[in-house]
Chains A and B, each alone.
Chain A
Amino acid sequence: MTTPTNYSYTKTHEWIQFLDEETATSGITDFAQKALSDIVFINMPSEGDEVTCGESFADIESVKAVADINSPVSGTILETNETVEEDPSVINEDPYGSWIVKIGHIRAKDDLMNAEEYDRFCEEEEQ
Chain B
Amino acid sequence: MKLVFERSIQGTGSTLLPPNDVEAYDLQEPYQRKLALHFPELTEGELSRHYSELESNAFGVNRGFYPLGSCTMKYSPKLNEECAALPGFADIHPLQPAHTVQGCMEAMALAEKLLCEITGMDNLTFQPAAGAHGEFTGLQLIKKYHDSRGDSKRVELIVPDTAHGTNPASASMGAFKTVAIPSKADGLVDLDALKAVVGENTAGLMLTNPSTLGLFEKDIVEIAKTVHEAGGLLYYDGANLNPVMGVVRPGDTGFDIVHLNLHKTFSTPHGGGGPGAGPVGCKAYLSEFLPLPRIVEEQGSLRFCSDSENSIGRVKAFYGHFLVIIKALAYILTLGKEGIPYAAQNAVLNANYMMKSLEDLYTVAYPGRCMHEFVLSAESLKKRTGVSAMDVAKALMDHGMHPPTVYFPLNVHEALMVEPTETESKPTIDAAVKVYREIYDLAFTNPALLHEAPVKAAIRRPDEVRAARTLVLRHSFSS
A residues sitting closer than 8 Å to B (CB atoms) are 35, 38, 40-41, 61, 63-67, 89, 126
Contact = CB atoms under 8 A, between A and B. Distances in A.
Contacts of B413: 35
Contacts of A61: 468
Interface residues of B, number: 10
A41 B407 contact: no
Query: Which 7 pairs across A and B sit closest by C-beta, in order of nearness?
Result: A40-B468, A63-B464, A64-B407, A38-B465, A40-B469, A65-B410, A40-B465
19 contacts: A35-B413, A38-B464, A38-B465, A40-B464, A40-B465, A40-B468, A40-B469, A41-B468, A41-B469, A63-B464, A63-B465, A63-B468, A64-B407, A65-B407, A65-B408, A65-B410, A66-B165, A89-B465, A126-B383
Nearest to B470: A40
Nearest to A88: B469
Nearest to B465: A38
A67 B413 CA distance: 14
Contacts of B464: 38, 40, 63
A63 to B, nearest CB: 4
Nearest to A61: B468
B170 to A, nearest CB: 15
Nearest to B408: A65
A35 B410 CA distance: 11
A89 B465 CA distance: 9
A102 B383 CA distance: 35
Nearest to A41: B468
A79 B420 CA distance: 49
Interface in B147-188: 165
A50 B62 CA distance: 53
Contacts of B383: 126
A61 to B, nearest CB: 8
Given A38-B464, A38-B465, 16 more contacts: A40-B464, A40-B465, A40-B468, A40-B469, A41-B468, A41-B469, A61-B468, A63-B464, A63-B468, A65-B407, A65-B408, A65-B410, A66-B165, A67-B410, A89-B465, A126-B383
B462 to A, nearest CB: 10
Contacts of B468: 40-41, 61, 63
